C-alpha cells in the first residue's frame, strides 16, 4: 500500500458511495464519469483492495469500501472545516460557519436570529444543518451547535442560554370543536399527536408522563415539524415549546400535569474561539436564544 494517497481519490470514493453510481457521483462533483472511474481504479490499486463489484446493475460496494466510508466522511468534514477556517481570516468577520440545530429550533427560531446576524455581518455565510441527531463537533461535522443536552467533551466551549419549557397544547380550532379535557382521565377521549418510533428522550419522558404512549396517539410522526404542523392545524393535542405556543396562540392543556424543561446550550470547539466569524455567530446565537427562551 502506498504511504500517501491523494485525498481526491477518497473524495471520489465517498461520492460514489453516497450517490450510488459513477455517473451520479460525477454530476455531484462536477467531474466526468471517466475521471471518477480512474480515481476508483487508482485507489483500488494503491490500497491493493477491490472497492466495488462491477455488474450490469452498476457498482456494488465491497466490505472494504463500506469500512472506509466513515473515515472518508471524517476526512470530508475536516476538509470542509479547514476551508471554513481559512475563509474566516481577516479584520472583519467573514467566511462560512456551519450551524447545527434540531428541526424545530432550526425552522422556527434560528431564521430570525440569523437574518439579524447577516444584516450586521454580511460577509458571513451560514450553513444550517437541521437534524435531531447530535452532530459531532469534535470531528467538525459542524462548527456550532444548539443543543438540548450539556456537552460532555472537555474540548468544547458551551454557554447555557436557559431552559426551553414544553407543555401540552391545542389549537383554538380544535378546542372549539372538541372542547378541552378538564382532568387527566378525559385526555384519552381526545386526539393525541405523538411519535411513531420513540427516541431515548421520548422513552424517558413517557416514564414521567403516564398515559402518553404510542398506543394512545391518534396521529403519529417522527418528524417534530410534522407534529407541530398537525397541532397548528387543529388536528389534536400535542407537545409544543411554550414560546412557540404563545406566539401561535395555542391553548395550554392540563397545566401543571404535563411539563418538561430542556436546558439549552450553544456549543463550539475550543479551537474556534479566535475565529472571528465563529465567535460572531456564537454570540448571536447565545443572545438570540436567550431572548427566545425568556423574551
Q: Which domains does the chain have, with CATH numbers?
A: 7-76 (1.10.10.10), 86-162+263-293 (3.40.190.10), 164-262 (3.40.190.10)
Q: Which residue has the higher pLDDT, 82 or 290?
A: 290
Does the pLDDT at position 159 exceed 80?
Answer: yes
Q: Which residue has the higher pLDDT, 133 or 123?
A: 123
Does the pLDDT at position 84 exceed 70?
Answer: no
Sole residue written with cell 470514493: 13
Q: Which residue has the higher pLDDT, 3 or 141?
A: 141
Model pTM?
0.68
pLDDT reported for residue 136 = 53
The cell for 101 is 440545530
Average pLDDT over residues 21-27: 85
Q: Is the dihedral of CA 74, 8, 124, 95 positive or negative?
A: positive
Q: Which residue has the higher pLDDT, 289 or 78?
A: 289
Does the pLDDT at position 274 exceed 50?
Answer: yes
- What string of H, E and C letters represents the secondary structure of 54-120? EECCEEEECHHHHHHHHHHHHHHHHHHHHHHHHHCCCCCCCEEEEEEECHHHHHHHHHHHHHHHHHH
pLDDT reported for residue 207 = 65
Does the pLDDT at position 90 exceed 80?
Answer: no
> Quick one: DSSP state of residue 258?
S
- The per-residue pLDDT of the chain, averaged, comes to 85
Q: How confident is the model at residue 252 (pLDDT cuts 50, 70, 90)?
A: very high
Does the pLDDT at position 1 exceed 50?
Answer: no
User: Which range among 49-53, 64-68, 92-96, 100-104 shows the weakest confidence by mean pLDDT?
Assistant: 92-96
Q: Is the dihedral of CA 187, 191, 197, 199 positive or negative?
A: negative
pLDDT reported for residue 29 = 84
Does the pLDDT at position 114 exceed 80?
Answer: yes
Residues belonging to the chain: 295
pLDDT reported for residue 91 = 64
Sequence-distant (≥ 6) Cβ neighbours of residue 91 within 8 angstroms: none
pLDDT reported for residue 88 = 56
Average pLDDT over residues 165-188: 93
Amino acid at each position: 500500500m502506498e504511504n500517501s494517497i491523494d485525498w481526491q481519490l477518497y473524495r471520489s470514493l465517498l461520492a460514489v458511495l453516497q450517490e450510488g453510481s459513477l455517473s451520479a457521483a460525477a454530476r455531484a462533483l462536477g467531474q466526468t464519469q471517466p475521471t471518477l472511474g480512474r480515481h476508483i481504479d487508482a485507489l483500488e490499486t494503491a490500497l491493493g483492495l477491490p472497492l466495488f463489484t462491477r455488474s450490469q446493475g452498476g457498482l456494488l460496494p465491497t466490505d472494504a469500501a463500506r469500512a472506509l466510508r466513515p473515515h472518508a466522511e471524517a476526512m470530508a468534514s475536516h476538509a470542509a472545516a479547514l476551508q471554513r477556517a481559512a475563509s474566516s481570516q481577516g479584520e472583519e468577520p467573514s467566511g462560512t460557519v456551519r450551524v447545527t440545530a434540531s428541526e424545530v429550533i432550526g425552522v422556527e427560531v434560528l431564521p430570525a436570529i440569523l437574518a439579524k446576524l447577516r444584516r450586521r455581518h454580511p460577509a458571513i455565510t451560514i450553513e444550517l444543518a437541521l437534524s435531531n441527531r447530535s452532530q459531532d463537533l469534535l470531528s467538525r461535522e459542524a462548527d456550532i451547535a444548539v443543543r438540548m443536552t450539556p456537552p460532555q467533551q472537555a474540548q468544547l466551549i458551551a454557554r447555557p442560554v436557559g431552559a426551553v419549557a414544553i407543555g401540552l397544547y391545542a389549537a383554538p380550532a380544535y378546542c372549539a370543536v372538541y372542547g378541552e379535557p378538564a382532568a387527566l382521565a378525559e385526555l384519552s377521549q381526545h386526539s393525541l399527536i405523538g411519535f411513531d418510533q420513540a427516541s431515548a428522550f421520548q422513552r424517558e419522558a413517557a416514564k414521567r408522563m403516564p398515559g402518553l404512549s404510542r398506543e394512545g396517539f391518534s396521529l403519529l410522526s417522527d418528524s417534530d415539524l410534522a407534529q407541530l404542523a398537525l397541532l397548528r392545524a387543529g388536528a389534536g393535542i400535542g407537545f409544543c415549546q411554550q414560546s412557540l405556543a404563545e406566539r401561535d396562540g395555542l391553548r395550554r392543556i392540563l397545566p401543571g400535569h404535563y411539563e418538561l424543561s430542556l436546558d439549552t446550550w450553544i456549543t463550539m470547539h475550543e479551537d474556534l474561539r479566535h475565529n472571528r466569524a465563529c465567535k460572531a455567530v456564537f454570540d448571536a446565537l447565545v443572545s438570540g436564544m436567550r431572548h427566545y427562551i425568556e423574551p
